[in-house]
């Protein structure tokens, strides 16, 4: 399982990078965020990743398909259960194991993210007996130390995110590599980096 905020998937160079990631890490299910691909071009772009791969998108909720899930049906069985503006949820079966997967791309507006938090909390009540993993770009950090700078603060948006995680009984999965996943691409004192992307699992996971 992998997830990537690609920031544009119309470019053939980006498509080759995704295909390279799939081959390098033997990925069977991939979440792609911020594709900027219109529905009319969806099938053409999806074919570039490999013959037989299936795709589910949230074009019904987003003009530019903010969230895609690609999977290889020869390795895993994936069934979409719910699609919204900020998430795609579904069940994946690998051999005899069944797990629930949520691929998330949180809104930039903290007020809209409240709908996502409420949805995840509601879903968590159904999934207490099933392994559940949530991956994606939440567009908000969880802790002050997930912001660079001398004076990190705990904002209202971060508090609401943390409360939803606690209600869902989720934990961050072990991480390696770069700690920050976003930057404003500035230098010196104006540079800001944040951890906005994460993977979390419930106790079943």
Q: What are phi and psi of 163, to 5 degrees?
A: -65, -40
CATH number of the domain bearing residue 87? 3.60.10.10
Single pTM value for the model: 0.95
3-state secondary structure of 161: helix
Answer yes or no: are the C-beta atoms of 170 and 205 closer than 8 Å.
no
Q: Give me the pLDDT at residue 182, please.
A: 92
Taking CA atoms, 64 is separated from 2, 54, 61, 83, 139, in Å, by: 21, 18, 9, 14, 18
Find the helix or strand (DSSP H, E) in which 88 lies.
Answer: strand 87-94
Query: What element of type H or E holds 102?
Result: strand 97-105
Residue 95 has what pLDDT?
A: 85
| Alpha helices (H) along 6-147 | 12-25, 42-47, 110-126
- How far apart CA 14 and CA 6 sit, in angstroms, is 8
Total tally of structural domains belonging to the chain = 1
pLDDT of residue 40: 94
Residues facing residue 183 across a β-bridge: 193
Query: 119 lies in which domain range?
Result: 2-202
What per-residue confidence (pLDDT) applies to 84?
A: 97
Tokens at 82, concatenated:
């719910």
Q: Which residue, 9, 56, 4, is CA-closest to 35?
A: 9
Q: Say which residue the tokens 């003009």 belong to.
A: 63
Per-residue confidence (pLDDT) for residue 30, from 0 to 100 = 97
pLDDT tens per residue across all 205 residues of the chain = 999 999 999 999 999 999 999 999 999 999 999 999 999 999 999 989 888 999 999 999 999 999 999 999 999 999 999 999 999 999 999 888 999 999 999 999 999 999 999 999 999 999 999 999 999 999 999 999 999 977 778 999 999 999 999 999 999 999 999 999 999 889 888 889 999 999 999 999 9
């Amino acid at each position: 399982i992998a997830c990537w905020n690609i920031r544009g998937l119309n470019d053939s160079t980006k498509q080759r990078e995704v295909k390279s990631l799939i081959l390098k890490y033997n990925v069977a299910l991939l979440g792609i965020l911020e594709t900027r691909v219109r529905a009319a071009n969806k099938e053409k772009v999806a074919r570039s990743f490999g013959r037989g791969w299936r795709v589910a998108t949230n074009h019904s909720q987003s003009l530019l398909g903010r969230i895609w899930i690609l999977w290889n049906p020869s390795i895993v069985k994936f069934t979409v259960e719910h699609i919204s503006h900020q998430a795609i949820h579904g069940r994946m079966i690998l051999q005899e194991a069944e797990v629930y997967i949520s691929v998330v791309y949180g809104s930039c507006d903290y007020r809209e993210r409240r709908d996502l938090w409420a949805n995840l909390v509601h879903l968590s009540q159904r999934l207490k007996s099933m392994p559940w993993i949530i991956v994606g770009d939440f567009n908000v950090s969880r802790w002050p130390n997930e912001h660079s700078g001398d004076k990190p603060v705990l904002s209202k948006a971060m508090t609401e995110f943390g409360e939803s995680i606690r209600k869902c009984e989720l934990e961050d999965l072990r991480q390696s590599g770069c700690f920050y996943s976003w930057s404003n691409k500035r230098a010196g004192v104006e540079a800001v980096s944040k951890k906005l992307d994460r993977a979390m699992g419930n106790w079943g996971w």
